[in-house]
């Protein structure tokens, strides 16, 4: 928990990584940096606008997620017949051909879980942004941080590409809009996890409860 980028509301002791001098530093405001009084190396930095950027990325994620579900992922063309496959129809099709477990797995990892996670993230970040307080923010955020939903999406995307390559001999495969938005979603979510500063949320919790 304690680290160079950790923000705090009280004065804390920090040891300089370069000259080992121990010194007390005050809570930092956004964009401010605390430097060692002896050697001027950076002791702590408060990232600027990480909350705004994270919220914008989460909202972009929701739009991309909706596109991913509204449009076909792939179109298969064989023998003059074209078949559009969306995330939901893939899941239903798996159920139809007696693969209930796989069907549920696809449904949970590509639709339900990402939907709930994105909604939860927007709820948490939006609440912090608006200064709104709720007892749910902490538990939801802790849960979001403990699950690796985005990792699942990456695996799924890889599986689609592999399946596409394998089916390539049997049918003509046309990538759908959803495949691109899905790909963009994976990138946006990676950006989100690198931009997000969890202390923005914890600090909000500390000051409002
Ligand atoms: Zn120093």
3-state secondary structure of 44: strand
Distance, in Å, from the CA atom of 162 to the CA atom of 165, rounded to the nearest integer, reads 5
Query: pLDDT band at 7, cuts 50/70/90?
Result: low
Report the relative pairing of strands 172-175 and 74-78 from DSSP bridges.
antiparallel
14 C-alpha to center of ligand 1: Å? 10
- CA 79 from chain centre, in angstroms, equals 40
3-state secondary structure of 5: coil
Query: Does residue 3 surpass a pLDDT of 70?
Result: no
Report, as an integer, the average pLDDT of 189-195. 87
155 C-alpha to center of ligand 1: Å? 44
Q: What is the pLDDT of residues 136-170, one digit of tens each?
A: 999 999 888 887 666 777 877 787 778 777 777 77
| DSSP codes of every residue in 94-135 | HHHTT-HHHHHHHHIIIIIHHHHHHHHHHHHHHHHHHT---T
Other Cβ atoms within 10 Å of 69 Cβ, number: 18
203 C-alpha to center of ligand 1: Å? 27
Report, as an integer, the average pLDDT of 61-86. 85
Query: pLDDT band at 209, cuts 50/70/90?
Result: low
Distance, in Å, from the CA atom of 208 to the CA atom of 180, rounded to the nearest integer, reads 40
30 C-alpha to center of ligand 1: Å? 22
Q: What is the pLDDT of residues 14-67, one digit of tens each?
A: 888 889 999 998 887 777 788 899 999 888 777 678 889 999 999 999 999 999
Contact between residue 195 and residue 54 where contact means Cβ atoms under 8 Å apart:
yes
Report, as an integer, the average pLDDT of 78-91. 80
Q: What is the pLDDT of residues 96-136, one digit of tens each?
A: 988 889 889 888 888 888 899 999 999 999 999 998 888 89
> Who surrounds ion ligand 1 at CB < 5 A?
16, 18-19, 21, 36, 38-39
89 C-alpha to center of ligand 1: Å? 60
> Has this prediction a pTM greater than 0.85?
no
15 C-alpha to center of ligand 1: Å? 8
Distance, in Å, from the CA atom of 91 to the CA atom of 102, rounded to the nearest integer, reads 8
In this predicted structure, what is the pLDDT of residue 55? 95
3-state secondary structure of 39: coil
In this predicted structure, what is the pLDDT of residue 208? 64
Distance, in Å, from the CA atom of 191 to the CA atom of 201, rounded to the nearest integer, reads 18
Query: Does residue 2 surpass a pLDDT of 60?
Result: no
């Amino acid at each position: 928990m304690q680290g160079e980028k950790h923000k705090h509301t009280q004065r804390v002791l920090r040891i300089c990584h370069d000259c080992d001098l121990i010194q007390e530093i005050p809570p930092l405001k956004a964009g401010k940096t605390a430097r060692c009084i002896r050697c001027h190396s950076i002791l702590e930095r408060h990232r600027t606008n990480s909350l705004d950027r994270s919220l914008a990325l989460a909202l972009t994620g929701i739009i991309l997620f909706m596109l991913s579900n509204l449009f076909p992922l792939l179109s298969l063309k064989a023998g003059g017949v074209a078949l559009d496959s969306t995330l939901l129809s893939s899941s239903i099709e798996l159920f139809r051909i007696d693969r209930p477990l796989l069907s549920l797995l696809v449904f949970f990892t590509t639709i339900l879980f990402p939907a709930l996670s994105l909604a939860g993230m927007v709820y948490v970040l939006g609440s912090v942004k608006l200064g709104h307080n709720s007892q749910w923010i902490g538990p939801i955020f802790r849960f979001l941080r403990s699950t690796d939903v985005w990792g699942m999406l990456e695996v799924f995307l890889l599986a689609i590409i592999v399946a596409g390559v394998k089916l390539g001999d049997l049918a003509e495969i046309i990538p759908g809009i959803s495949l691109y938005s899905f790909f963009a979603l994976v990138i946006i979510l990676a950006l989100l996890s690198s931009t997000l500063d969890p202390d923005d949320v914890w600090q909000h919790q500390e000051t409002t409860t």
